[in-house]
Structure 1
Amino acid sequence: MPRKVDSGIMRRSSPTSFSSTSSSGGAKRIVRDAIWALFMVVFLGTVLIWIVMPTNTYRNRWSLSIRAKSGSSTYFGKQGYSILMFTFPVLFIACLGCVYLHLGNKSSEPQVGKNGIKKNKGLAMWKRPVLVRGPLGIVSWIEVAFFVMFIALLVWSFAAYLRNSFLKIDRTGSTDGEKVWEAKLETSGFWLGIVGNIALAFLFFPVTRASSVLPLFGLTSEASIKYHIWLGHIVMVLFTAHGLIFILYWALTHRISEMMEWQKTGVSNVAGEIALLAGLGMWATTFPRVRRKMFELFFYAHYLYILFMFFFVLHVGISYSCIMLPGFYLFMVDRYLRFLQSRNRARLVCARVLPCDTVELNFSKTPGLEYTPTSIVFINVPSLSKLQWHPFTISSNSNLEKDKLSIIIKNEGTWSQKLYQILSSPSPPNRLDVSVEGPYGPASTHFLRHEKLVMVSGGSGITPFISIIREFIFMSTTFKSMTPKLTLICAFKNSSDLTMLDLVLPISGTPSDLSNLQLQIEAYVTREKEAATQSSKQARSVWFKPSSFDEPLSAVLGPNSWLWLGAIISVSFVMFLILIGIITRYYIYPIDQNQNKYSTASRAVLNILVICISIGIAASTAFLWNKRINAKEVKQIKHLDGLTLAHSPGSGFYNAERELESLPHQSLVQATNLHFGERPDLKKMLFECKESSVGVLVCGPKKMRHEVAGICSSGLADNLHFESISFSW
C-alpha cells in the first residue's frame, strides 16, 4: 500500500505573479459570465419561438409581421424569414460557445472533496439515475425532465396545429369535393411531417463531435449518442406515419398517381418518398439485434443519411429546411474537418501485444496536442477496411506524455481480431497505415470535486480509467497536493487479462514518487480459482519504420481550435449569405419576382451547393493555415527517428519477470489485491465508502453498468454520486 498523505502542500508563487494571474482569471470569468448570460437570452428566446409557433397569435400576427419585413427582400425572399428566425440564432449560439470554451481556463488546483460538491449538491441530485433498466438505458432525473419536455413540445405542437386546422375545416368545409374526414386525414399527415421536422432539427447535434453547443450543456458527443438514438426513432416514427397517411389518403381518394408527381414549385412527392426509403434503410439496421450481429451493414447503411437529407431538402424546399438547417450545418462543418484530418497518415511508433488478446498502439504527437481524460479517437486501418472507423479511448495522458498518444484495443470483434492477428503474427509488418480523427472528449473534468473516486470496470472497460489514474498521477506529483482517494475495482475473466494492469503506468514519464497518490486496486479473476503458475505468452513490442508521408498527431485547428471553429462557422455562414444573396438578386429574382415561379428543386440545389462551397473554403483555409504554422514542429518530430519508446516491461501482476523493478511499479503492485474465483460484491464495497462525497464511474458489460447505477440510485447512500460515462457508439 502506498502511504497516505494527511495534508497537501500548496504550490508557492510570488505575490506579483499570483496577482497578475488572479486579475487575468477574474477578467476571463467576467467575460465568460457575460457570454453565458447572452447565450441564455438567445437560447430561451429560441425555445419560446418553438413553443408559440403553433399558436394563432404567432402565425397570424408575429409571423406575418416578420415575413412582411424579411420576406420582401430581393436578396433572400421568403427564405430570409426562416434564416432570421431559426438558422441564425443557433449558429450565433455555436459561435458564442466557441468563445466561451476558448476562455475556459483550467484551474491549476481545483477544489478537492466536499467543498466542490456542496456547490452543486442540487444539481448532483438531479444527475442521480432514476431509470436503470429499460429501452432508454441508464437515465438521470435531468435527462427524464428534458425528454418529457421535448415530448411535450412535440405533442403540444401537433395538437395545436391539428386543432386550428380542424376548426378551419369544420368552419369552411373541405375543398375539391373531398369529404370532411378525408380533408382531416390529409391535414393530420401534413402536420405529422411538420412535427417530424422539429425532431429532425435536433437530430445532428449529438453526433457533431467537435461541437461547441454540447459542452455548454455539460455534454460530450460520445455520451450524447443515446440522444441521437432516441431522436432517430422519433423522427422515423413521425415521418413514416406522415408517408403512410398520405399514401392511404391518395388511395382512398383515387389519386394514387400523385405519388409519382414532382412539381416544379411546391412540395415534391417523389423526393419525399426517396428520402423516406433512405431513412427506412437506415432505421432497419439500427435496432440492437441487427447492429450487434451485422455491424458492417449498420455502418454502411448509415451513409444513406446523405440521400435522406438531400431529398428531404428537395421535398420541402430550402425555405422550410432552414428550420432543421443549423444542426446539420454544424455537422457538415465537423464532418468536413474530420475528412481533412483523416487524409493524413498517422505516425504509428510501436504496438505492445499483450497475452490477453489486447494491443496498445502508440502514436507520435506534437506537444501542443492536449486532451482531457476519457477522450477518444477514431482510427481507420485501410488494410482492414477503407471505410470503417472505430472509436477507442485514449489511455495516455497529454501532461505526462508530451510526445505520445496511446490507445488500447481489445480483441472483441471481427475488425479488432484481424488487427490482433496481424500484429501478433511471428513476422508482423514493419509499418501499418493508420488514419486518425480526433481526439474528442469533455472540455473539462470534474472528478476532483469528490473526496473519493470509485471506478468499476469489466474487461476492456478499464481503458478510460487508465487515463483518469494517469491524470491523478500528474496532479499529485506536479502540485504536491492531496488528490481524491482512488479505488479501481476491475473484473477479468482470466488471469492473463491481469496484464492490462501493466498499462496503468505509462512506459515513460512516470514520476519516481507516487506517495501522494492514494490508489487502491481490487482485481477479480472470475473464471479461475488460483493464479496461473507460468504465462504461456509474453508481452512483446512491435516497432514500425517511419515513412516520410507519416505525420505526428496534432490538433486539426491548432491550439486555439475553438476560436478557429467559431471563425469557420461565422465566416462560412456570412459567405453563404453573400453568395446566395447575389444569386437570388441577380439570377433567381428576375425570373421569380417573389411569385413562386422559380423551380423549388433548383433553388434547393443552389443553396446546398453554396453551403458546401462556403464551408469548404472556410474550413480548408483554416486547416491549411494551421498546418502551415505547425509545419516546423512536425518537421522536427519527423527527424527524431531515433527517439522511440522504451522497452516494454513485462507484467508484475502475472508472475512474469521484469528487467528492472522501478519504485512506481512496486508501489502499484503493493496497492493491488488479487481475488480469484469470485465476483466483486459491488453493493457492499460501495456502501462501505464513508467519505462525504464519492464519485462512482462504471464502464463494462450492460449488467454491471445497471447494477452500479441501481446501487447509486437506491437512495440508501446519499454520498454516492453516479458519474455518467458512456462509450456506446
Structure 2
Amino acid sequence: MTYLSKYSGIAIITILAAVPGIIWAFQAATPNSFSSLGSAALSVGKLLGLSGMALFSLNFILAARLKFTEPLFRGLNRAYIVHHFVGGLALIFLLFHPMLLTLQYLTISLSAAGSFLLSTLTELDKFLGELALATLVLLLVLTFYVKLPYQFWKLTHKFMGLAYFLASLHVLLIPSDVSVIPLLRGYMQTLIATAYLCILYRTVFRQFTVPRFQYKVANVVQVNPQVVEITMSPIKQKMHYRSGQFVFVEFRARGVRWEDHPFSIVSEPAEPNLRITVKSVGDFTETLKLLQAGAPVFVEGPFGQFTFQSIGNPKQLWIAGGIGITPFLGMVRELEKERVPPATSVILYYVVNKPNEAVFLEELRAIAQKFSFFKLV
C-alpha cells in the first residue's frame, strides 16, 4: 500500500477544506491584508471562518456512511476517527473566527470592539452565526466530554443539523467575501448543498434512501450469562460480505429500542444466515436477550476492511481481548471452509480476564487441532 493511498481520504479532506482559503488568497487578499495586527487578525479570522465552515460541511459527508468513503479511509471505522477529529478542528476554527474579528476592532478602539459585539446580538445575519456557534459548542462538549447513553448521544448528533442550518444561513446572508466573489460563493454553496443532501439522506429520508437488508431473527442462543449469539435469516436478498466486516443492525421487537447499532459478523460468507455475537454492556445490549424468533431485523452494510484478504499477507498475528474475538471468529470460520494459500500462517492470541469470558474457545481449539495453519495461544 502506497503512502498516498493510505492517506488519500485525509488528503482530500485537507484540500477541500483549504480551497476556500486559496480562492480568497487569489481573489480577495491585498498587500495590506497582513500589514498590521488588525488587518492580520481580520484576514486570519476570515480564513478560519471559511475553512471551519468547509470542515463542518465535510463532516456531514463523512457521517453519511457513503460507500465511496470507505476505501478512501481504509474502512468506515477509520473514517469515523477522521470524522471525530474534523469535528473538533471545525469547532476550533469557528471559535477563533469571531475572536479574531473582535481583535481587529480592538486594535481600533475598545468602543469599536463593543459596537461589533453588540451588532452580533442586534443584526440577524451575525446573530445566526453566534447562535450556531453556541449550539455547536454545547453539542460537541456533550460529545467529547460527557459520557451519555447511546440514544442521547445519537440525539445530540441529530441536533448538529440545527447548528449547521444556522451556520449556513449566517454564511449565505452576511455581507462578506462569500457574497462578492462568485467562485467562492459557488464553492461554499456546493459544499453546503452537499451537506444538506447527506443530512436528508441519513436522517429525514433514511427509511427510503439508506439501502438495508431485511432479515428476521431465527435463533437466540445464550453463550454465557453475558453473551448471546443471534442468528438472522434473510427474508429476501441475502447480504454478501467478507468475514471480519461489521454491520449496523436494527431490531424491530417489543422491549428493544428501534435504533441501529454496529456489530461484527461472526458467521462466514457461505452460511445462509447471518450471525452476530453480543455482550451485555449497556441498556440496549441487555435487552437483546428478549428477542424472539421471527422478529424483523434491518441490516445496513457490510462495512470495514478488517478482513484476512485485505491485509495482503498470508502470515498474520491476531490479538483479541474478550468479546473482541468476534471479527476473528468469522475470519477463522471462513479460512476453515476455504482453500487457503500454502503459505498461510495465523497465530491468534486470545486474552480474557476470567476463563468463562472466553466465548467459543472449544470451537477455536478444535480448528487449531484440525488445521496446521492456525495456532491458538
The TM-score with structure 1 as length reference comes to 0.42
| Equivalent residue in structure 2 for 1:372, among 225, 238, 242 | 242
Shift of 1:458: 0.3
CA change 1:149–1:206 in 2 (3 A) is closer
CA change 1:488–1:395 in 2 (3 A) is same
CA distance in 2, matches of 1:345, 1:367: 8
Question: Over aligned residues, Cα RMSD in angstroms?
Answer: 4.2
CA change 1:149–1:223 in 2 (3 A) is closer
Shift of 1:239: 0.7
More strand by share: 2
Shift of 1:409: 0.6
CA deviation digits over 1:11-65, x for unaligned, max 9?
A: xxxxxxxxxxxxxxxxxxxxxxxxxxxxxxxxxxxxxxxxxxxxxxxxxxxxxxx
CA change 1:147–1:481 in 2 (3 A) is closer
CA deviation digits over 1:544-567, x for unaligned, max 9?
A: xxxxxxxxxxxxxxxxxxxxxxxx
Shift of 1:459: 0.4
What is the letter of the counterpart of residue 497 of structure 1? E
CA distance in 1, matches of 2:204, 2:240: 21
CA distance in 1, matches of 2:54, 2:84: 16
Q: Which of the pair has more CA radius of gyration? A: 1
Any conservation in 1 of the 2:212–2:301 contact (CA below 8 Å)? no
Does 2:117 align with 1:256? yes
Match of 1:490 in 2: 350
Any conservation in 2 of the 1:282–1:302 contact (CA below 8 Å)? yes
Which secondary structure does the structure 1 equivalent of 2:166 belong to?
Answer: helix
Write out aligned runs for 1:95-134 (5 A).
123=2
| Equivalent residue in structure 2 for 1:280, among 134, 137, 146 | 137
CA change 1:487–1:336 in 2 (3 A) is farther
* Structure 2 spans left out of the alignment, 5+ residues: 106-110, 173-184
Shift of 1:467: 1.5
CA change 1:230–1:160 in 2 (3 A) is same
CA change 1:373–1:253 in 2 (3 A) is same
What is the letter of the counterpart of residue 281 of structure 2? E
Write out aligned runs for 1:39-188 (5 A).
123=2, 143=7, 150=14, 157=21, 161=25, 165=29, 167-168=31-32, 182=38, 184-188=40-44
Match of 1:723 in 2: none
CA distance in 2, matches of 1:475, 1:290: 45
How many residues matched?
Answer: 353
CA change 1:461–1:454 in 2 (3 A) is same
Match of 1:499 in 2: 359
CA change 1:395–1:210 in 2 (3 A) is farther
| Equivalent residue in structure 1 for 2:221, among 322, 347, 352 | 352
Which secondary structure does the structure 1 equivalent of 2:168 belong to?
Answer: helix
Shift of 1:259: 1.5
Does 2:283 align with 1:419? no
CA distance in 2, matches of 1:351, 1:262: 59
CA distance in 2, matches of 1:517, 1:205: 45
Shift of 1:337: 7.2
Any conservation in 1 of the 2:265–2:327 contact (CA below 8 Å)? yes
* Structure 1 spans left out of the alignment, 5+ residues: 1-119, 128-140, 172-179, 424-428, 523-729
CA change 1:167–1:384 in 2 (3 A) is farther
CA change 1:147–1:271 in 2 (3 A) is same
CA distance in 1, matches of 2:320, 2:282: 19
CA distance in 1, matches of 2:258, 2:102: 37
Greater relative CO, 1 or 2 (CA 8 Å, sep 6+): 1
What is the letter of the counterpart of residue 396 of structure 1? S
CA distance in 1, matches of 2:275, 2:244: 12
| Equivalent residue in structure 2 for 1:391, among 237, 259, 262 | 262
Does 2:184 align with 1:322? no
What is the letter of the counterpart of residue 414 of structure 1? D
CA deviation digits over 1:504-525, x for unaligned, max 9?
A: 69xxxx9xxx966622212xxx
Any conservation in 2 of the 1:259–1:270 contact (CA below 8 Å)? yes
CA change 1:274–1:500 in 2 (3 A) is farther
Any conservation in 1 of the 2:266–2:329 contact (CA below 8 Å)? yes
| Equivalent residue in structure 1 for 2:56, among 193, 200, 212 | 200
Any conservation in 2 of the 1:393–1:464 contact (CA below 8 Å)? yes
Shift of 1:454: 1.5
Match of 1:189 in 2: 45
Any conservation in 2 of the 1:279–1:308 contact (CA below 8 Å)? yes
